[in-house]
Structure 1
Amino acid sequence: MADIVNLRAARKAQARASAATQADINRAAFGRTKAEKQKTDLEANRLQVGLDGAKLERD
């Protein structure tokens, strides 16, 4: 026979799993130090300046 599943408990388990996944995403996005954020911003800026300098036609 099939096991009986409590739907309320299954919904709560699914909600906990999705909350844990969202927490992992937020930790990766917002759990950085100020120095790490500045390093990322400076690297992105350096790459953008390099790309702008390599353009053949100016706007």
Structure 2
Amino acid sequence: MSDVVNLRQFKKRKAREEKEKAAAENRIRHGRTGAEKKFEREQARKAGEFLERNRLEPAAAYPAKAGDEDA
């Protein structure tokens, strides 16, 4: 004879396993590790600093344009 199986619990377990499988696929497809995010932020910061250091004229030397409320 076989074991008695509670179908409600079986369906819930199967649904949880499928949901976890889908979540794992999404993490692989869309996710990035913390190290990757940190590396990208650091690269952007370094690029911004490089551009600022190598600017031909200081930012204050540019005249305000018509429509610029911040200046």
Q: What is the percent sequence identity of the aligned residues?
A: 43
Structure number with bigger Rg = 2
* 1:5 corresponds to 2:8: no
Which structure's residues are more often helix, by fraction? 1
Aligned residues: 35
Gaps of 5+ in 2: 41-71
TM-score, with length taken from structure 2: 0.44
Give 1:19's aligned amino acid.
K
Distance in 1 (alpha carbons) for counterparts of 2:3 and 2:28? 38
Matches within 5 A, 1:26-45: 26-32=26-32, 33=36, 35=40
Bigger relative contact order, structure 1 or 2 (CA pairs below 8 A, ≥6 apart): 2
What CA RMSD, in Å, does the superposition of the two structures yield over aligned residues?
1.4
Runs ≥4 in structure 1, deviation > 3 angstroms? none
TM-score, with length taken from structure 1: 0.52
Gaps of 5+ in 1: 36-59
Cα shift at 1:30: 1.1
